[in-house]
Amino acid sequence: MTTSPREKNAPRDVNEAAIIAAKSDIASGKNSKKVFIKTYGCQMNVYDSERMADVLSPIGYAPTDAPDHADLVILNTCHIREKAAEKVYSELGRIRKYKETNKPDMKVAVAGCVAQAEGAEIMSRAPVVDMVLGPQTYHKLPEMIAKVHRGTGQLLETEFDTLEKFDELPELRQPKGFSSFLTIQEGCDKFCTFCVVPYTRGAEVSRSVAHVVAEARQLAAHGVREITLIGQNVNAYNGLGEDGKEWTLGQLIRHVALIGGIDRIRFTTSHPRDMDDDLIETLGNEPKLMPYLHLPIQAGSNKVLHAMNRGHTYAEYKELIAKIRAARPDIALSGDFIVGFPGETETDFQQTMKCVEEIGYGSSFSFKYSVRPGTPGAGLPRQVPEDEKQDRLVRLQALLYQQQQDFNKSLIGQTLSVLVEGVGRKDDQLFGRSPYLQGTHFDGPKDLVGQIVNVKITDAGRNSLVGELA
């Protein structure tokens, strides 16, 4: 039951778990209990895990990165990829053996999207689990824990009450480091035929501007200098503004940029259908907004895009990219790609390859299509054989990885601003993030940690940069 912590804000692979082990003021000795939170999936789950730690602090739980010492273990799950549920059951099997042998009083909770989709089955299939809670209900953790200890009450919570969740969360956060995620929108109304998010996260809901700004200010007061605004479809944001009208994401970004101490802003993940002119203009005009955009297309074939219910064509996506680059010439693009969607032919796949060649990506995430039970894609005819999917993925990734390396090498000789997040593995080495999210290593004094400094890039790999103080 051990997992290595990931580098903070490194690109997330939904198949790899991360450990949330936040330090808190209460954890210095006032809390007598320990909670271990293992997080699978996207940035939204990372944010949710951090907020679960915040919810538990007032009732005496301090985070730990050692599951063997935990009084409460929470698996915050993701349902996006194939066999996600089976990975959770496998982990629960390990927890059960440890609990029976060493720590019979340990309590176990399953949270997140697998919990939302399969809550009742989890309760019946894994008796070691004491609580199951969906992604909109983790503010109820203290209440559920009390019911567990009393042996009474409903221990399955999977209601869609997103706004109640945010209303009930404690205002106090314990951010780790100098950059932080901030959820502004949850849910999805797009119903792509390959995706379970509308069924596990519910409809699109946006937080009010006042709530977002209050949390951003609180983060700034704790030393956070970079905020990433996150949502399943973050650019579908339409929260209630301070003028009583619905605000767009562009309006919100410009407002958050006014907060003292917040020097860098990012947002993810965006949908092409919600990329409006106001947001594109904000990309071009707001200096605190980093020149990096994650805008998935998934496939280059119009036939496949239609079957996926993406709601746009490749030509429309390409035109949108042209407008974005005209507004922000230094922008780097990131994308998602799925190969082997039902009915995809070699000709369709070649159109995806052409899309990648024509658009050009600085980073990317690519996957084989996996059947998600309950989604329309699961019942489509002409499922692509596994060996064909694997062959296409290998060819696509070779192109995407080459583009990523070429982009990183194009930065050699340039001077970039870097937010210094900590020390590196070598003596006198520092580590930070460039505007394009690459990890960047360079030599410098430790008192630069937490500062934004100029670094001249001298070398580049596929995933990271090397430089020297400018």
Q: Is pLDDT of 11 > 50?
A: no
Same domain, 215 and 184: yes
Residue that is last in its domain, among 124, 159, 194? 159
Tens digits of per-residue pLDDT, 368-413? 998 887 789 988 989 999 999 999 999 999 999 999 999 999 999 9
CA distances 299 to 59, 334, 354, 418, Å, are: 47, 14, 10, 33
Residues 60, 129 within the same domain: yes
Total number of domains in the chain: 4
In this structure, of 13-22, 276-285, 299-308, 430-439, the range with the lowest mean pLDDT score is 13-22
Q: Above 70 in pLDDT, residue 26? A: no
Per the structure, the complete domain to which residue 318 belongs is given by: 294-410
In CATH, what number is assigned to the domain containing residue 144?
Answer: 3.40.50.12160
Is 7 part of a structural domain of the chain?
no
Q: Is residue 4 part of a domain?
A: no
Identify the bridge partners of residue 230 per DSSP, sorted by sequence position.
183, 268
Q: Would residue 349 count as lying in a domain?
A: yes
Question: Is residue 42 domain-shared with residue 69, that is, in the same domain?
Answer: yes
Better-predicted residue by pLDDT, 387 or 60: 387
pLDDT digits (tens, 9 = 90+) for 181-210: 999 998 899 999 998 888 878 889 999 999
Residue 239 resides in a domain = yes
DSSP code at position 242: T
**Confidence band, pLDDT 50/70/90 cuts, at residue 338:** very high
Would 25 be classed as within a structural domain? Answer: yes
Nearest Cα residue to 362 out of 272, 415, 305, 435: 435
Average pLDDT over residues 126-153: 84
Tell me the average pLDDT across 333-359. Answer: 98
CA distance linking residue 167 with residue 139, whole number of Å: 9
Q: What is the CATH number of the domain that holds 192?
A: 3.30.750.210
Position 3 scores a pLDDT of 38
| pLDDT at residue number 239 | 96
Query: Of 290, 307, 340, which marks where a domain is finished?
Result: 290
- Kindly report the average pLDDT of the chain as a whole number: 88
Q: Which of 24-38, 72-86, 176-190, 285-299 has the lowest mean pLDDT?
A: 24-38
Residue 434 has pLDDT above 60, yes or no: yes
Give the pLDDT confidence score for residue 80 in this predicted structure. 67
> Nearest Cα to 133, choosing from 114, 153, 156, 149?
156
pLDDT at 266: 98
* Residue 186 within any structural domain of the chain: yes
465 domain-assigned: yes
Judgement on whether residues 138 and 184 belong to the same structural domain of the protein: no
Q: How far, CA to CA in Å, does 385 sit from each of 339, 345, 350, 388?
A: 11, 11, 17, 5
How far, in Å, CA of 221 to CA of 217, rounded?
6
Residues 56 and 142 in one domain: yes
Residue 228: is its pLDDT beyond 50?
yes
If asked whether residues 56 and 155 sit together in one domain, one would say: yes
101-115, 387-401, 452-466: segment of lowest average pLDDT: 101-115
337, 400: one domain? yes
pLDDT band at 151 (very low <50, low <70, confident <90, very high): confident
pLDDT at 167: 63
Q: 45 and 153 in one domain?
A: yes
Inform me whether the pLDDT recorded for 316 exceeds 60: yes
Which one of 224, 259, 290 terminates a domain?
A: 290
